[in-house]
Amino acid sequence: MLKGLWTVGLKVKNLEEEIKFHRQLGNEIVLDEEIPVERDVYRVVLVRMGDKYLHLAEKTVYEKFLGNPLPYGMVHLVYISDDFDRDIQMFEGAGATHIIPPLDVSAGFGERRVAFLLTPNGWVCEVAKIYRHAVPEVVVMSGVVDGSQKPSPT
């Protein structure tokens, strides 16, 4: 089943300016890497912002399959799954279609199986099954993000 939202993907016009902006806000740049997918290479920056991550990129892995360029701003949500096949079937049953068939990826964030899907109303989501997680978890602690405290009850 889906365990929660892990990150929000954002398409930006100028990645260097966006990185500078987030650093000035005090957000941590966790990863800045190039990820090969098929014959293309995508530069992706992972920013830790409060209790979520932001994926920043000038182009997305799936954009060329959509037929139209994506606007700048939020372009997809990444959901973490503990039962990948069942969750993909749930998305398909709800009317989502595949943009890119499921594939295994390995990068600085770890190793995972992912699928990019287009919902009936046109927004993109990614479902990810994590095999190996290589970035720190973010947890809200009594209103403050701090790994040294115990999580506040929900």
Strand, helix or coil for residue 144: strand
Complete domains list, the chain, with CATH: 2-145 (3.10.180.10)
Q: Render 55-123 in DSSP notation, one character per residue.
A: EEESS-SSGGGTSSPPPSEEEEEEEEESSHHHHHHHHHHTT-EEEEEEEEEEETTEEEEEEEEE-TTS-
Whether the per-residue pLDDT at 139 is higher than 60: the answer is no
Whether the per-residue pLDDT at 138 is higher than 70: the answer is no
Terminal CA-to-CA distance of the chain, rounded, Å? 20
Q: How far apart are CA 88 and CA 102, in angstroms?
A: 9
Its pTM stands at: 0.78
Residues above pLDDT 70, as percent of the chain: 89
